[in-house]
Structure 1
Amino acid sequence: MLLMSRTDNAVQRFIFENTDIRGEVVSLNNSYLDALEAHEYPEVVRRFLGELVASAVLLSSTLKFEGLLTLQARGDGPLSLLMVECTDQKSFRAVAQFRDDIVEAPLQTLLGKASLLITVDPVKGKRYQGIVPLEKETLAASLEDYFAQSVQLQTRLWLACDGQSSSGLLLQALPASAELSADARSESWNRMTALAETVQSSELLDLDHETLLVRLFHEETVRIFEKEPVRFICTCSQERSAKIISTLDRKEVESIIEEDGQVAMDCQFCNHQYVFGKEDIDSIFNEKPQIH
């Protein structure tokens, strides 16, 4: 049988008709590679950061808001940080921090004692942050813990990344609507998650979304919505860098100017450097711009 080629840089929503279960599937290749282009990450870091990128896109798709979702895994091990920012427009940027002696190992081993932080920063409304210990062996399992503890929504995730592309599948139980019986809801949830549990990493990475969903749920009635493109976009700029400088101690900044003749700021996400001379620094502190 001829297989459909994988979906490129898109997230797609689907629902199971006559149930209260929704899903999201995401496939990233060029956009994922664009996010990593400015960094020389080891293969193990590329894979785990790819899983986090897929997770952030999936999670942002479950939220109805205009703003930014930030997903961070922070620990005291050789891999100290994995971080992804994703907007409601499905643009993202990502970064990792690690020691030079990092070697191939499970995520839990690399992170050490770690926490998973999820921050939702809407354009309108209050900022929200949830945090759970990152104690499970996989990122997917830790995120499922977060939803169970902090959001109290039944959620399952399956993630895959081979260092060149990244994919993920999410199932989530919705409030009772189509199925009012608790037994019926439980039976549907158990059936759908059991079917999804059969997915292979190669299927997530290689198959077109429609082909994947038919293969997993061929006996179910699945309604698939339009694809939403996902892009890597770094939001750094000269202006944002200037606003950050304005929060620093002026005397310390001026001492750097006296010593080096300039102040240079590097974006941790894309490695672009912004340079400020003495006149720029005088202007920044005289205007005192505020960070938005």
Structure 2
Amino acid sequence: MVFSYSTVLINTLLFACPLLLLCTGGILNTRAGIVNLGFDGIMCVGATFYCIIVSQLKSSMGSSVAILAFFVAIIVGMVFSLLHSLATLIFRANQFLVSMVINYLGYGLAVVLPLSFTGTINYSLSSIYIPLFSWPSFLVTLIVIYLFAALLFLTKLGLYIRGIGENPTAVALNYIHVRRSRMYISLISSSLACFAGAFFVYILPSSFIDTNNFNGIGFLVIPLWMMARSRFVLTTIICLIFSFIYQVGNATQSFSLISKNIPSWLWGMLPYLIALGALMIFRPDTMLPPSWGVPYVKTGRRWQ
């Protein structure tokens, strides 16, 4: 089999798109002191709604059904963010535990919803396939994430967001409602995560329909943005490198010599092992904001 460099390059760029969207949501959360590790489950829900809408309405709406599916995925992401905000900001529940609950809720809905709407758990590739625009998809993704980067680092609003993560009390003294601001940021980040799941199915439909999950991709992006110290340029580079390793691993499995001597499960583990090793080497824990995961209590009361 001929090793196609152009195919690997295109797949690398496409696979990096949902990773970048997830990392953008994670950076926004981290800078604002929010812990939401439930992106993997939220991705699954976004992908599930995308598949249901496309499979049900594709025959009548054509390719334009993808726009409706993306819009619904964004709305669903907002609903999940409200659940997270209600538990963590209002009732001050442990943000790590709430994230795990959201994950399992997402996994469950990814199985239950297809049974309710279509009668089967899995989808056929032909029912959800929509012609792909490769280069525009990557360029639009870059524009979106760097608009968020400009918002976060070049505007007064971004200064307030970063201040909420560093010292929420000081921000509150400037008449900024901390908990309400965190809720808005959570809305944006969860919407990005849900949209990333739908976008993932759009660019790589076969990656989801076999198992109704993404094999932990939502968890994998956590060390990616942490290794980059929540910086957008470095995050972009790391996502592209990881995506390239992932695609090269998939491509080399096509060679009989490699597939006979190296099991496929080892190639599947390679990106995760690299991310784990890099996370231990770079030790990004010292770069997290002081209020990361700490519930905010109004000035004059003790933090809990």
Give your verdict on TM over 0.5.
no
More strand by percentage: 1
TM class, shorter-chain normalised?
Answer: under 0.3
Structure with bigger RCO (C-alpha 8 Å, 6+ apart): 2
More helix by percentage: 2
Larger Rg: 1
